[in-house]
Structure 1
Amino acid sequence: MPEAEVSLRLALYIARNQYATGDVDVAIDGAQVRNLNKIHFPMDKFLRDEGLIAVTRSGDSWQGVYKIADSQSKLKIHSSPGLGDVVATLRNGRRLRVESKKGKLQRSKSSSEYPLLREAIGQLMTVSEVSDIDLLGVAVPHSTKFAELSSRWSSAPLIQRVGIIIICVHRSGLVDGLPAIAEPSNAPESRSRTF
């Protein structure tokens, strides 16, 4: 699954489940979509297939603001680096800031999942802006190996101390690893987890 798809599917999950209080920002490097005449990710087809409607677009580019059916949130797709691939202010008052990585949906023989996940964690540690309300995460495609690494690494002492969550994104649009983010932070403990 391409990195752009991981980011977009996570952003759509957040918006469609009404977890965001506003729009969801998605940063996509143009090279993830196309280099010269080679298309790496069919952005226009994806946006169309997901039923997204352009509110504003930057020329003939895919960058812009998109309306999502059955959601008050919109997707703001841009190419500004350094703040996170997916950024959304959540209903619980936290700001989710995620770095995404591409990956195979089937287990790779080369164990490419290890360096990809490590790279995402490293990128997250170097974002240019972070505050006390930020909930930091990395997102990778769901596969057997990524799920195994997510489960194991989520309990690593430094990952827990920093509060990084590891999110696995399914091609179907489902997401694993996202904590209970829907409720306001003053909700009863039994309904909400604070990170």
Structure 2
Amino acid sequence: MIDKPTTATSQVMKDQMQPEPGLPSDRMPEAEVALRLAEFILSLSGSGAMAGIAIDGAGTRVGDALVFDVSRYMAATGWVPVKEAQVIRSAWTGAYRRDDKTIRVHARPGESHVIAQINGHHIVAVCTKGPLTRKPGGPEHRLLTTALGQALLLDVAADNIVIAAVPDTPVFRQLVETWRSRPLVRRARIELALVHRNGTVSGLNL
């Protein structure tokens, strides 16, 4: 591992500085944060060939309202679905491939939002949604607190890299820059990642 925080953008993400069609302009859904984090990790040197993404049904649809269209996002970012023999409950779950990398999306409850590997180390991440516009009494403090708590309770090995990821906004950035230096956060070795809609991710030591 290196001391300098990793900030990078995959080549596909560099060409996508505007939101893909269908994405809400005022917020980043949890599923989007998880997928962009996975894409970023897979773009790094030394990353594994596959990342696993857990997205529950509530992360895509609430009642009749569509929260996040997984299939549309994957198509817009160049990921091609891989046909599989097994029966899949939701049409958007399954494997997607881009070049030599694979993202496997599933809806199994109770699992980390992102699972990947880099330089032989397992990465497990908890991701949270968040607003992209500042509002009085916004939920950022609560959302980051919840993500940190979930990350703290993950059943991981001592050498795993544990991440709590939030959207990259001024409010979240201020919280992350303050909280990552707190003694107990440092002792727990939880990485706080800021995930931007343009595909950049900052704050990681990978």
TM-score bin (small chain) = 0.7 to 0.9
1:87 offset after TM fit, Å? 0.9
**76-85 vs 112-121, greater mean Cα deviation:** 76-85
Instruction: Quote the residue 2:128 is aligned against.
Output: 101
Would the aligned equivalents of 2:180 and 2:186 in 1 still touch at CA under 8 Å? yes
In 2, the alpha carbon distance for the partners of 1:178 and 1:10 equals: 11
Q: Does 1:25 align with 2:29?
A: no
In 2, the alpha carbon distance for the partners of 1:51 and 1:170 equals: 18
1:144 offset after TM fit, Å? 0.2
Instruction: Quote the residue 1:88 is aligned against.
Output: 116
Give the partner amino acid of 1:68. Answer: R
RMSD: 1.5
In 1, the alpha carbon distance for the partners of 2:114 and 2:32 equals: 11
Instruction: Quote the residue 2:158 is aligned against.
Output: 132
CA gap 1:35/1:107 in 2 versus in 1, 3 angstroms: closer
In 2, the alpha carbon distance for the partners of 1:165 and 1:60 equals: 31
Query: Secondary structure of 2:130's match?
Result: coil
Would the aligned equivalents of 2:52 and 2:105 in 1 still touch at CA under 8 Å? yes
In 2, the alpha carbon distance for the partners of 1:81 and 1:124 equals: 15
In 1, the alpha carbon distance for the partners of 2:161 and 2:177 equals: 18
Alignment of 1:26-105 (within 5 A): 26-56=53-83, 58=88, 61-69=91-99, 72-91=100-119, 93-105=120-132
In 1, the alpha carbon distance for the partners of 2:176 and 2:149 equals: 15
Between the aligned residues of both structures, percent identity stands at 33
Instruction: Quote the residue 1:188 is aligned against.
Output: none
Scaled by the length of structure 2, the TM-score of the pair is 0.80
Would the aligned equivalents of 1:52 and 1:68 in 2 still touch at CA under 8 Å? yes
Alignment of 1:103-182 (within 5 A): 103-127=130-154, 129-179=155-205, 181=206
- Greater fraction of residues in strand: 2
1:56 offset after TM fit, Å? 3.2
Query: Secondary structure of 2:172's match?
Result: helix
Unaligned runs of 5+ in 2: 1-27
Which is bigger in relative contact order (C-alpha 8 A, separation at least 6)? 2
Number of residue pairs matched?
A: 176
1:11 to 23, 31, 38: 38
Query: Secondary structure of 1:62's match?
Result: coil
Would the aligned equivalents of 2:152 and 2:188 in 1 still touch at CA under 8 Å? no
In 1, the alpha carbon distance for the partners of 2:109 and 2:184 equals: 25
Query: Secondary structure of 1:177's match?
Result: strand
Deviations 1:160-192 (A, max 9, x none): 00100100000000001111x2xxxxxxxxxxx
Scaled by the length of structure 1, the TM-score of the pair is 0.85
Would the aligned equivalents of 2:126 and 2:164 in 1 still touch at CA under 8 Å? yes
Would the aligned equivalents of 1:26 and 1:86 in 2 still touch at CA under 8 Å? yes
